[in-house]
Amino acid sequence: MSGEGEKSSTLFFMGIAENSMIQVLDRQLVDLIAAGEVIDSPLAVVRELVENALDAGADRILIRLWWEQWRLEVLDNGQGMELAELKTSVLPHATSKISTQEDLQRIKTLGFRGEALHSLAQVAQLTISSRSLAAPDCGWRIIYSPQGQPEQIEPVAIAVGTRVEVGELFAEFPQRRQAFAKSQQFWRPMVNYLQQMALCHPQVTWQLWQDERLRLNISPSPNPKAILLQCLKSLRSGHLGYTKQSLPLPLDLENQATSAQLSVTFGYPDRCHRPRPDWLVIAINGRPVNVPELTQVIMASFHRTLPRQRYPLCFVHWQLPPQCIDWHRHPAKTEIYLQDLPHWQGQLKALLHQSLAVVDNGATPRLNQLLKAAEPKGVYQLQASTSLTETVLGHANVFKAIAQVCQTYILVEHKRGIWLVEQHVAHERVLFEQLQRHWQCLPLDQPLVLQGFNPEQVERLQNLGLEIDPFGEDIWAVRSLPALLQGQAEIIPILQELSQLSSLSTAQAAIACRSAIKNGTELDRSAINKLIEQWQQCDNPHTCPHGRPIYLALDESSLARFFRRNWLVSPKASGP
C-alpha cells in the first residue's frame, strides 16, 4: 500500500493525473493558450496594435495608458474598416494580409497571422471603433466577446482611422498583473520599442501618453538620423552619419524582379558611444529584429574605433525581398530565419567600412583621428606610455619627495633640480587616467532616489553608464554609480553637474576633480610618496584634465643663475 501511495504522490507532484488520457482540447481553451503566447505583456498589446496601424497606412499613431486601471488605447489615422470587416476582424485567424500558401512565403506586411485581436479579446475587454474612407457620415463601434463575436454595435462620430480600446487587461491572469504591477517594469521597454519603430518609419508621428501626460513625442522626419536627434537630446547633428545604398542580390535572386536596400545611421565613434548596446538596432522590412550574426558584424566593424567597454550607436535597416525572410520563428516576430545570410553580412561589412573610411591597406586621416579615442587590444594609447622623468629629463631618474608646503604643494627633488607639485591637480590627473582605463559603474546596496531631474539629464547620466530607472512621477532610482562616487556626501550636486555634461571624458574629469585630494589637506610621508609615484607615471603629467599646470620646475642651473653662482653644486649634473 505504501508503494502505491508513494507512486500516487509522485504523479500528483509532477502534475500527472492518474488514469489520464490524451484528449482534444476544446476551442476556448486552445484560444486561451494561444492568447497567452501572443499577448504576454503590455508591450505585446501595443506592438500588435501599432503594427496593425502601420499596415493600414497610418502616419499618425497615438498610444494612451492608464495603468492603475489596467487600460490603454491606440488611435491611428489609417484607412479604417467598414462595418462588415469590423464584425469579423476579431474572429480567430481573420486577416486581410494573406490568403494563399504562396502569400505565406512572401510576407510584405508587419502582421499576417490574424491572431492578435482575437488573442487580445481573450485577455481583456476589447472595443474597436473605426471609419473607412468609403464611409459617408460616421464610423462604427463594436464591443467584442472573448470569442471575438460582436456583442454591441453602434454608430459613432469618428475621423477616418481606427481606435482600439483595451480594458481590464489580464484580469484573469493574476500572475501577469503582479509581474507588471509597477509601470517601470514595462515602461522602458515600451519607450524603446516605440523609438525603434520611429527609426523604422520616420514618416510617422508618434505620441505616448500616460495618465493624461505626454511622455513621448516624435515628429515625422526625412530619415532615421533626424529621429535619433529627437530620441537622444544630448546628440548633435555632427555626431551622426547616415548613408543609404542599393545592394546587389544573391545569385539565386538575380533573375527575379526584386531589389534590396540598406541604410545605416551611426554615431561617429570619436563623438558618441554608449555604455550599453541599447542603441545597436537592426531592422528588416520595417521591424526591429534580433540577428546575432549581423550584430557581430557591427561590433567587429566598430571594434578598433571604440574605447574599452563602450558600444556603438548604430541603426541598420534592411529592405529585403520578402522571399528571403521566414518570419515563423517567434510569436513576436523578432527572431527570424534569413536566407543568404553570409551575403547580407558581407554587404553590411562593406558599407560600414566605407562609412567609417576604412580601407584594406591602411587608415585615412579620419580613421587616424578615431583611433586616438580607441583601445586596440585593451590599451588606450597607441604608443607606449612615458613617465615624467623620461619626458622631462630625457631618461629614467631618481626622485625624492622632500616635504609638504602649506598643505597644498609637495616639494620633490630630482637629479637636475626640484619640482613644486600642487597636490590637488596632481591627484586629479592620476584619478582621471585611472577612470579612462577602468571606467565601471558598480551596483549600489540601496538605490539612490533623484528628484528634480528632467528626462534629458537622466539620459545623459545613463549615457555615462549609470543604471537609472523610473521610480514614480518625475522620480528616478539610481542603481549603480562609478566607484569613486560611492559614499560621496554631496552625491546629488555631483550628479546634477554630471547631468549637464555631454561627453564621457568631461564627466570623468569632473569626477576626478571632485574626488581628488583637496588643497589644505595634510598628508603623511607615505601618502606623499604614493601620490608622487602615481603622478610621475601618468601619460600626461604636465596638466590636469582641465588644462591647469601641475608643477613648477626649477632646475639647478636656473637656481645657480638666480643666486649668481658660476658653478654647479652637483658635479654629476650637466649644464643647461
pLDDT digits (tens, 9 = 90+) for 318-330: 998 888 888 777 7
Asked if the structure places residue 15 within a domain, the reply is: no
- State whether 319 and 392 are in the same domain: no
- CA triplet 143, 148, 153: central angle to 5 degrees? 30
- State whether 212 and 231 are in the same domain: no
Structural domain total, the chain: 3
Q: In what order do the strands lie in the sheet with 150-156?
A: 150-156, 139-144, 125-131, 161-167, 71-76, 60-66, 205-210, 213-218
- Answer for the pair 125, 164: CB distance below 8 angstroms, yes or no: no
β partners of residue 141: 129, 154
Mean pLDDT for all residues in the chain: 80
pLDDT tier for residue 80 given thresholds of 50, 70 and 90: very high
- State whether 231 and 362 are in the same domain: yes
Angle between helices 525-536 and 423-437 (to 10 degrees): 60
Asked if the structure places residue 5 within a domain, the reply is: no
pLDDT tier for residue 484 given thresholds of 50, 70 and 90: confident
Asked if the structure places residue 57 within a domain, the reply is: yes
* Average pLDDT of the residues in 316-343: 84
162-192 confidence digits (pLDDT tens) = 999 999 998 888 888 887 776 666 788 899 9
Predicted confidence at residue 184, as pLDDT, reads: 61
H/E stretch holding 362? strand 362-363
Residue at 533: amino acid letter: E
350-382 confidence digits (pLDDT tens) = 999 888 864 333 444 444 444 444 433 333 332
- Answer for the pair 534, 421: CB distance below 8 angstroms, yes or no: no
pLDDT tier for residue 438 given thresholds of 50, 70 and 90: confident
- State whether 394 and 352 are in the same domain: no
User: Which of 337, 354, 376 corresponds to the end of one domain?
Assistant: 376
pLDDT tier for residue 31 given thresholds of 50, 70 and 90: low
* DSSP assignment of 312-373: --EEEEEE--GGGEE-TT-TTS-S-EETTHHHHHHHHHHHHHHHTTEETTEE-HHHHHHHHT
Asked if the structure places residue 361 within a domain, the reply is: yes
- Answer for the pair 531, 523: CB distance below 8 angstroms, yes or no: yes
- Answer for the pair 347, 262: CB distance below 8 angstroms, yes or no: yes
* Average pLDDT of the residues in 222-233: 92
pLDDT tier for residue 566 given thresholds of 50, 70 and 90: low
pLDDT tier for residue 256 given thresholds of 50, 70 and 90: low
**CATH label of the domain that carries residue 407:** 3.30.1540.20
Residue 5 pLDDT exceeds 80: no
* DSSP assignment of 510-554: HHHHHHSPPTT----HHHHHHHHHHHHTSSS-SB-TTS-B-EEEE
Domain that includes residue 166, residue range: 27-217
- State whether 512 and 552 are in the same domain: yes
Coil, helix or strand at residue 336: coil
CA dihedral 309, 452, 67, 41 (to 10 degrees): 0
d(CA 77, CA 328): 29
Single out the residue of 421, 417, 419, 420 nearest to residue 560, CA to CA.
417
Coil, helix or strand at residue 39: coil
- State whether 461 and 537 are in the same domain: yes
Residue 41 pLDDT exceeds 90: no
d(CA 114, CA 355): 41
Residue at 365: amino acid letter: P
Cα dihedral 451, 456, 458, 464 sign: negative
Strands 280-284 and 314-319: parallel
- State whether 271 and 290 are in the same domain: yes
| Percent of the chain surpassing pLDDT 70 | 81
- Answer for the pair 526, 399: CB distance below 8 angstroms, yes or no: no
Residue 548 pLDDT exceeds 50: yes
- State whether 319 and 242 are in the same domain: yes
Of 134-143, 149-158, 560-569, give the range with the top mean pLDDT: 149-158
98-112 confidence digits (pLDDT tens) = 667 776 667 777 876
pLDDT tier for residue 83 given thresholds of 50, 70 and 90: very high
pTM of the model: 0.63
- Position of cell 559603474? 441
d(CA 129, CA 76): 11
* Average pLDDT of the residues in 127-137: 87
Predicted confidence at residue 13, as pLDDT, reads: 45
* Average pLDDT of the residues in 293-314: 86
User: Which of 354, 376, 398 corresponds to the end of one domain?
Assistant: 376
Predicted confidence at residue 63, as pLDDT, reads: 96
- HSE on the CB side for 12, CA within 13 Å? 6
Predicted confidence at residue 213, as pLDDT, reads: 87
Q: Please give the residue that has the higher pLDDT: either 311 or 256.
A: 311
Predicted confidence at residue 183, as pLDDT, reads: 61
- Answer for the pair 420, 443: CB distance below 8 angstroms, yes or no: no
d(CA 460, CA 468): 11
- State whether 109 and 147 are in the same domain: yes
User: Which of 342, 376, 410 corresponds to the end of one domain?
Assistant: 376
Asked if the structure places residue 429 within a domain, the reply is: yes
- CA triplet 416, 417, 422: central angle to 5 degrees? 135
Coil, helix or strand at residue 318: strand
- Position of cell 602615481? 534
Predicted confidence at residue 211, as pLDDT, reads: 86
**Cell (9 digits) for 2:** 505504501
- Position of cell 558598480? 442
pLDDT tier for residue 257 given thresholds of 50, 70 and 90: low
Which range among 171-185, 195-209, 405-419 shows the weakest confidence by mean pLDDT? 171-185
The beta strands (E) that lie in 132-260 are given as 139-144, 150-156, 161-167, 205-210, 213-218, 240-246
Asked if the structure places residue 324 within a domain, the reply is: yes
- State whether 228 and 197 are in the same domain: no
Predicted confidence at residue 358, as pLDDT, reads: 42
- State whether 276 and 340 are in the same domain: yes
- State whether 296 and 262 are in the same domain: yes
* Average pLDDT of the residues in 5-28: 60
Q: Please give the residue that has the higher pLDDT: either 395 or 518.
A: 518
Asked if the structure places residue 191 within a domain, the reply is: yes
56-66 confidence digits (pLDDT tens) = 999 999 999 99
**CATH label of the domain that carries residue 283:** 3.30.230.10
pLDDT tier for residue 568 given thresholds of 50, 70 and 90: very low
Strands 205-210 and 60-66: parallel
Asked if the structure places residue 22 within a domain, the reply is: no
Cα dihedral 489, 491, 492, 498 sign: positive
